[in-house]
Structure 1
Amino acid sequence: MEITVCVGSTCYLKGSYNIINRLTELIKENNLEDKVVIKGACCLGNCCRPVSIKIDDGPVLSVDESSLEKFFKEQVIDKLNK
């Protein structure tokens, strides 16, 4: 699974590096280092929302620090367990 996080100017100001750091921690905490890769992108075209993020070739979603853990459970852990 590939998680792409926008690191463009707007998302950077909204905390994209904090999102990346927390995703890295969540991946390690759940022993998913061999199943999940995090990548950065200059812009995912969703600048009016919180930090833009997408999984594989899926739709562009938005997360902030308060919604990240729920996003990780629903979009990463639950999908890997299917």
Structure 2
Amino acid sequence: MDKISVCIGSACHLKGAYRVLDIFQKLVQENDCEASVEVEGNFCQNRCTQGVVVKINEQILTNINVDNAEEIFRAYILRRI
């Protein structure tokens, strides 16, 4: 199972973390991959100046936003399914 963890700590929250989290949840549903992809919000990934921070499995990605979240999902999740 793939796991997407979106930081919702203070700095990432201010940069739109909840909108990014919503996008990932929507994409999981739209692509019918609920059984193989888990999406969660979590706190600090220790890269507060680089938010929104997203961890996909063991890879940490920075500067994720509403404009690039779908591209990230396609590159890191859909290509594996």
TM-score (norm 2): 0.90
Deviation of the 1:79 alpha carbon: 2.0
Q: Which runs of 4+ in 1 moved over 2 A?
A: none
Tell me how far apart the structure 2 counterparts of residues 76 and 24 of structure 1 sit (CA, whole Å).
Answer: 12
Gaps of 5+ in 2: none
Residue deviations 1:44-79, cap 9 Å, x none? 111112310011122x10211111111010011012
Deviation of the 1:40 alpha carbon: 1.8
State the match for 1:48 in structure 2: 49
RMSD over aligned Cα, in angstroms?
1.0
**2:7 counterpart letter in structure 1:** C
Tell me how far apart the structure 1 counterparts of residues 28 and 42 of structure 2 sit (CA, whole Å).
Answer: 19
Secondary structure in structure 2 of the residue aligned to 1:51? coil
Tell me how far apart the structure 2 counterparts of residues 50 and 64 of structure 1 sit (CA, whole Å).
Answer: 8
Task: Give the percent of matched residue pairs that are identical in Structure 1 and Structure 2.
Answer: 30
Matched, 1:61 2:61: yes
Q: Tell me the number of residue pairs that the alignment of Structure 1 and Structure 2 aligns.
A: 79
TM-score (norm 1): 0.89
